[in-house]
Amino acid sequence: MSVTHPKGFAAAGLEIGLKKSGGKDLAIVHNLGPSMAAAVVFTSNRAKANPIIWSQQVIADGIVGAIVLNSGGANCYTGAAGFQVTHATAEAVGLKLGVSAGDVLVCSTGLIGDQLPLDTILAGVCAAELSATGGEDASLAIMTTDSRPKRAVHEGAGWSIGAMAKGAGMLAPGLATMLVVITTDADLPSDLLDAGLRRATRVTFDRLDSDGCMSTNDQVSLLASGASGISPDPEEFAAALTAVCADLAAQLQADAEGASHDIVIETVGAANEDDAVEVGRAVARNNLFKAAVFGNDPNWGRVLAAVGTTAAEFDPYAIDVSINGVMVCRSGEPGDSRELVDLSPRRVHLLIDLKSGAATATILTNDLTHDYVHENSAYSS
Amino acid sequence: MSVTHPKGFAAAGLEIGLKKSGGKDLAIVHNLGPSMAAAVVFTSNRAKANPIIWSQQVIADGIVGAIVLNSGGANCYTGAAGFQVTHATAEAVGLKLGVSAGDVLVCSTGLIGDQLPLDTILAGVCAAELSATGGEDASLAIMTTDSRPKRAVHEGAGWSIGAMAKGAGMLAPGLATMLVVITTDADLPSDLLDAGLRRATRVTFDRLDSDGCMSTNDQVSLLASGASGISPDPEEFAAALTAVCADLAAQLQADAEGASHDIVIETVGAANEDDAVEVGRAVARNNLFKAAVFGNDPNWGRVLAAVGTTAAEFDPYAIDVSINGVMVCRSGEPGDSRELVDLSPRRVHLLIDLKSGAATATILTNDLTHDYVHENSAYSS
């Protein structure tokens, strides 16, 4: 059910011919109210796609009536003509749903630098039939190289959260590259939604770093209908939101392009949280370590070489590194035999103890595989 | 001839059994004087191998009598026992050549975390027969996954420079991961050698970023015998040194593990040189762009997405991007057809014009290939 699980939402997902590979490629989610409170987190990439530029204006007042998403084209670096496509799409959705165009978020995903066919999109918007059971179709329509849709729900006491996500490549921080739509029938004002969403994404999507490549189109949108009539405790709501985002982040990691291992990098003993994140991120972006994991090779020297590139506080000769429970490096020297490490399971747990404090952070990444290279060497051709 | 090309040097390269793959694995270069002036640039990785820690002490006084290098083991994260191996190696070389151990640089390359067999190394040092024609053997003995040795010479007016290098993986900044030994019979004091070496490495090895992975063992050593009796103009010497380093950097790039393209990323129109380097580096480290080049796919959107992650001054809607002479992105919009770009040659020229100033920088990198993944998924196993 994804985004139509909470009360007060209708959605649709349909095929209009944008995606060369075929399949559904246009999704619309309508907030039926009574509230239209919303919050959005955007990519921190300075090269922003047209839908990002548009949506940043839309969310300024914290009010969103609908969101329209397309796969089959990123509408990024497409100039004034590209921005006009985004604007006209929002106008069409607004007209169809009786919502101001200025309250319609737009998201696009696909190849950068190609113009989207406006006529095709406008015809698609007209043809869309939104319903209270349309969430599943919507989650299919935002897929690009995803092999499966990503959905999550959470049940509160009389209120709920529903969500859908897409993302398989360009999965990196500042958001993990992706589109996410989260709906809730909880009745909360936009400032509390915004605080909760930032708190949730900071420790979930922001810590998914599959391939170190940050997209131009990332957007995580949270729409609240208030249809449950319940205003949950903001703390409880933020915790639920974080759980939903963590669920989706794990689904994105599990479906990352070409990956054969899901790597959980847990940094502990850090002087502060930033240090722990920096260390985890450096290891997550180290191609040599990632290729070693693909080869089932517990090459811990590459972990330490990556840690050494950071500014984090640590003593190179105090550090411990464990891979899947085997402490292969103890106090900066060879520990237990690397032969003891079993890297055959898909899930890999890398534990780095900096011995410099009490802060921790976990970064999610994937291995570097032949299939990753293959999929990404032939994307636009 | 490599390092024995200039007058005043003897060298040897021999097989002592350190490298599992076989082949020469121990090199010694002796400065016969009359001068023993030297300069060294080290990795900026904070996880420093034992030979780096040792050599940093040796160079403190600007005097070096000899350098000993081994492949077959990095001697990094090997604790106090590992440092003792480095120390004992320097002692043995010093004893053999009549040089103080404190004037013997040590370099190691290979797997991190394994102890080197000290007895094997000491026996090897005893067996080494240095000669004025030993430079070629020495250049072979420092190879790891290199497919061929890297050598360069420069002829000045009565003086010369000779050099050897190794490096194929972990090629990244702060030095491109490698060992380099440069010799000269020019008569220059160590402070001028140091200034010239830093000037040369800053624009050559420091701008080679094959795979974004910085080694724990990088070292570029410059030894001056003064045997020519000539003291060239420091400017002329620094320029010659830069040319030699650029030559070696290009050889390292051309032999990078698994690479099928040598990519020259030229950033122009930058507000300052740091911006130009940051932009080039961001693109050089973008796996999606690198995989696209492997697939002969001129996916310029990935270039712009990478530029967008930097803090460099640029207007996303003024930027131009050309690939092999075709301006595929003009003023932030689609330019000439990507179909016109021919990526079949090994050399790829990416030109990024930030339109924000007059500074430029060139970064050298490689594509991301199946062979890179393969070679690095099976290194230690």
H, E, C per residue of chain A = CHHHCCCCEEEEEECCCCCCCCCCCEEEEEECCCCCEEEEEECCCCCCCHHHHHHHHHHHHCECCEEEEEECECCCCCHHHHHHHHHHHHHHHHHHHCCCHHHEEEEEECCCCCCCCHHHHHHHHHHCCCECCCHHHHHHHCCCCCCCCEEEEEECCCCEEEEEEECCCCCCCCCCCCEEEEEECCCCCHHHHHHHHHHHHHCCHHHECCCCCCCCCCEEEEEECCCCCCCCCHHHHHHHHHHHHHHHHHHHHHCCCCCCCEEEEEEEEECCHHHHHHHHHHHHCCHHHHHHHHCCCCCHHHHHHHHCCCCCCCCCCCCEEEECCEEEEECCEECCCHHHCCCCCCEEEEEEECCCCCEEEEEEEECCCHHHHHHHCCCCC
Give the B window 170-199 contacts with A, CB below 8 Å.
Answer: 170, 174
Which helix (H) or strand (E) covers residue B304, if one does? Answer: helix B300-307
Q: Looking at the partner chain, which of B213, B299, B369 has a beta carbon nearest the beta carbon of A373?
A: B369
Residues of chain A with Cβ-Cβ distance to B296 below 8 Å are 381
Segment A44-63 mean pLDDT: 91
Q: Average model confidence (pLDDT) for chain B? A: 90
* Higher pLDDT among residues A167 and A156, named by residue: A156
Residue A381, pLDDT score = 39
Residue A177, pLDDT score = 52
**From CA B143, how far away is CA B146, in angstroms rounded?**
5
Residue A253, pLDDT score = 85
Residue B302, pLDDT score = 87
**Residues 6+ positions from A338 with CB-CB distance below 8 Å:** A298, A299, A300, A326, A328, B380
**Å from A334 to nearest chain B CA?**
6
Residues of chain B with Cβ-Cβ distance to A376 below 8 Å are 287-288, 291-292, 295, 368
Residue A174, pLDDT score = 37
Domain residue ranges of chain B, discontinuous segments joined by +:
2-254, 262-376
Q: Tell me the range of A204-218, B88-102, B362-376 where mean pLDDT is highest.
A: B88-102
Residue A175 has pLDDT above 70, yes or no: no
Residue B177, pLDDT score = 54
Residue B123 has pLDDT above 90, yes or no: yes
Residue B180, pLDDT score = 84
Q: Would you call the peptide bond into A173 cis, given omega within 30 degrees of 0 as the criterion?
A: no
Reported confidence tier of residue A75, pLDDT bands at 50, 70, 90: very high
In tens, the pLDDT along A122-152 reads 999 999 999 999 999 999 999 887 888 989 9
A2-254 architecture in CATH? 4-Layer Sandwich (3.60)
Segment B97-102 mean pLDDT: 97
Q: Average model confidence (pLDDT) for chain A? A: 90
A177 is catalytic: yes
In tens, the pLDDT along B322-360 reads 999 999 999 988 999 999 999 999 999 999 999 999 999
Other Cβ atoms less than 10 A from the Cβ of A131: the count is: 12
Residue B309, pLDDT score = 85
Residue A21 has pLDDT above 80, yes or no: yes
**Residues 6+ positions from B343 with CB-CB distance below 8 Å:** B261, B293, B296, B297, B298, B323, B324
- Burial class for A358, CB neighbours closer than 10 Å (0-12, 13-18, 19+): exposed
**From CA B200, how far away is CA B214, in angstroms rounded?**
19
HSE-up of residue A310 (Cα within 13 Å, Cβ side): 25
A75 is in an annotated binding site: no
CATH superfamily, domain A262-376, is: ArgJ beta chain, C-terminal domain (3.10.20.340)
Q: Looking at the partner chain, which of B77, B285, B377 has a beta carbon nearest the beta carbon of A329?
A: B77
For B118-262, where are the alpha helices, taking DSSP H only?
A: 118-127, 135-141, 190-202, 234-254
Give the B window 4-33 contacts with A, CB below 8 Å.
Answer: none
In tens, the pLDDT along B57-94 reads 999 999 999 999 999 998 988 889 999 999 999 999 99
**Å from A66 to nearest chain B CA?**
27
Residue A185 has pLDDT above 60, yes or no: yes
Residue A343, pLDDT score = 94
Lowest average pLDDT, out of A40-54, A166-180, A307-321, goes to A166-180
**Residues 6+ positions from A356 with CB-CB distance below 8 Å:** A269, A270, A271, A275, A312, A313, A314, A315, A318
In tens, the pLDDT along A25-34 reads 999 999 999 9
In tens, the pLDDT along B133-192 reads 999 999 999 988 788 898 999 999 999 999 998 886 555 533 335 788 899 999 999 999
Give the A window 95-154 contacts with B, CB below 8 Å.
Answer: 111-115
Q: Looking at the partner chain, which of B174, B288, B380 has a beta carbon nearest the beta carbon of A299?
A: B380
**Å from A48 to nearest chain B CA?**
8
| Per-residue tokens: A155 | 């049940």
